[in-house]
């Protein structure tokens, strides 16, 4: 299953433009996206996502906290408190740049994934 990097709508592998938001879909493939780290709150995840996009870095933020949609429905997480609730993923060719940006803007507010 693939998702639009802008609006998170489900798309097919052949999609060139998202039918929900009209974003141009660049074909980075399904296998080269890497989860680089996580944050615990929605504000930090939104800030990380918007900042990476401003640097033209494709990014997908997936919630594992039970948070749904942009309005949000916060449910109790099913994981330990040391793991962030929002996972940040980028294509592998952007890992180094994205990690540097997130270190700069979020510093200790995000948890970088161990290699």
Domain ranges of the chain: 1-27, 32-112
Closest-CA residue to 39 (of 114, 112, 113, 110) = 110
Q: Alpha-carbon torsion 115, 78, 40, 1, what sign?
A: positive
Q: What fold does the segment set 32-112 form as a domain?
A: Alpha-Beta Plaits (3.30.70)
At 33-52, the pLDDT tens digits run 889 999 988 899 999 999 99
At 43-87, the pLDDT tens digits run 999 999 999 999 999 898 888 765 555 444 444 545 455 455 889
Model confidence, pTM? 0.64
User: Distance between CA 114 and CA 26 in Å, rounded?
Assistant: 27
């Amino acid at each position: 299953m693939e998702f639009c990097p802008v609006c998170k709508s489900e798309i097919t592998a052949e999609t060139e433009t998202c039918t929900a938001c009209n974003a141009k879909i660049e074909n980075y493939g399904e296998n080269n996206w890497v989860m680089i780290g996580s944050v615990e709150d929605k504000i930090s995840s939104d800030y990380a996502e918007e900042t990476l996009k401003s640097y033209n870095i494709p990014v997908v933020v997936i919630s594992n906290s039970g948070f749904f949609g942009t309005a949000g429905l916060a449910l109790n997480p099913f994981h330990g408190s040391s793991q962030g609730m929002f996972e940040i993923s980028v294509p592998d060719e952007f890992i180094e740049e994205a990690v540097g940006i997130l270190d700069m803007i979020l510093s200790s507010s995000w948890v970088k994934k161990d290699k």
